Amino acid sequence: MTLDLLVDAHVHSTFSDGRDQPGANVATAAERGLHTIGLVDHVRSDTLWLPDFVSAVRRLRSQSPLDVSCGVEAKMLDTTGWLDVPPSLAGVDWIVAADHQVPLGREPQPPATVRRMIADGEIDPIEVLDNLLEATAAAAERYDNVLIAHIFSVLPKCGLDETMVADTDVTALGHRLARAGARVEISERWRCPSAHVAKLLHAAGVELVASTDSHRAATIGQYDHVSDIAGALASI
Ligand SMILES: [Zn+2]
Ligand SMILES: [Zn+2]
């Protein structure tokens, strides 16, 4: 398969924690020769600026030859697939589902807490992995147009890693994501997933997309890890 490196599906702006305005991000993407950019900012359930962001992205889309999409990035809350998004997502093209915390029980837990719970024997690492897999698949099934952000990036923060996830579990997740129409990003910022996991997801029918998760215009479309993954995928 060919992973299109003229796409950057996940770029932040001043609407959340990015340094540059959305317009500067689109201008940089155009200078770099990209044809597609996903403008994505972090939201929570009580975020109020979303209509303004949607309008700003619409305006840029109408002025740019690039394919400019509007996305919100939200953390996964639980294993039933709820995401920390505002009640109305009118005008949003993509929901970027993120493992910023670990969905455990009623409340997602910060990775440092999960790391301590594992060390204290309060929780089995297998349960952490199972919850993460279930929350990821369920989010894709609950919402339309989901992009899974930096898959498994929370694991190293919990003292775990991607190799602890069985291939069969990655494939099962891939089948559910593909059926739900969710895409998975290959993330430059988080250097994940590995080529191995990317191949398993692709084989399961998942559409993979390149992203930098840039927080400043300068890094938009600049790929190193993602280029390596593209090389590994080119042979299949
Ligand atoms: Zn993120
Ligand atoms: Zn992000």
Identify the nearest ligand to the CA of 42 by its number. Answer: 2
* Alpha carbon distance 140, 144 (integer Å): 7
Q: How far apart are the CA of 165 and the centre of ligand 2, in A? A: 23
pLDDT at 236: 86
CA angle 169/173/175 to nearest 5° reads 115
Task: Give 98 Cα–ligand 1 centroid separation in angstroms.
Answer: 5
Amino acid at the residue 132 = L
- Say what the pLDDT of residue 111 is: 98
pLDDT, averaged per 10 consecutive residues of the chain (236 residues), comes to 97 98 98 98 98 98 98 98 98 98 93 98 97 98 98 97 97 98 98 98 98 98 98 93
Give the Cα separation of 104 and 128 in Å (integer).
7
pLDDT of 205 reads: 98
Ligand lying closest to the C-alpha of residue 10: 2
Amino acid 80: pLDDT: 96
Bridge partners for 208 per DSSP? 184
- Residue 24 Cα, ligand 1 centroid: separation in angstroms? 21
CA 120 to ligand 2 center in whole angstroms: 31
pLDDT for position 234: 95
**pLDDT at residue 105, rounded to an integer:** 82
Q: Which ligand is nearest to the CA of 215?
A: 2
Alpha helices in 64-153 (DSSP H): 111-119, 125-142
State in Å: Cα 39 to ligand 2 middle.
10
The ligand with the least distance to the CA atom of 99 is 1
Which are the contacts of 168, defined by CB distance < 8 A and separation ≥ 6? Answer: none
Say if residues 74 and 44 touch (Cβ distance below 8 Å): yes
Q: Quickly tell me which residue has 């992995």 as its tokens.
A: 129
The ligand minimizing its distance to the Cα of 94 is: 2
Distance in Å, CA 149 to ligand 2 centroid: 7
Contacts of 215 (CB under 8 A, 6+ apart): 12, 17, 18, 19
C-alpha 149 – ligand 1 centre gap (Å): 6
Annotation: CATH topology of 7-234: TIM Barrel (3.20.20)
Report the 10 Å Cβ neighbour count for 119.
Answer: 10
36-42 and 7-11 as β-strands: parallel, antiparallel, unpaired? parallel
Crossing angle for the helix pair 125-142 and 111-119, to the nearest 10 degrees: 150
Among the bound ligands, the one closest to the CA of 98: 1
Identify the burial level of 1 via C-beta atoms within 10 angstroms of its C-beta, where 0-12 means exposed, 13-18 middle and 19 or more buried.
middle
Instruction: Calculate how far, in angstroms, residue 100's C-alpha sits from the geometric centre of ligand 1.
Output: 6
Q: Tell me which ligand sits closest to the C-alpha of residue 192.
A: 1
Q: Ligand 1: distance of its center to the CA of 57 in Å?
A: 20
pTM greater than 0.95 (yes/no): yes
State the Cα–Cα distance between residues 17 and 77, nearest whole angstrom.
20
From the CA of 40, the nearest ligand is 2
| Ligand 2 centroid distance, CA of 16 (Å) | 10
User: Measuring CA to CA, which residue among 215, 226, 185, 220 is closest to residue 66?
Assistant: 220
User: How remote is the CA of residue 73 from the centroid of ligand 1, in Å?
Assistant: 7
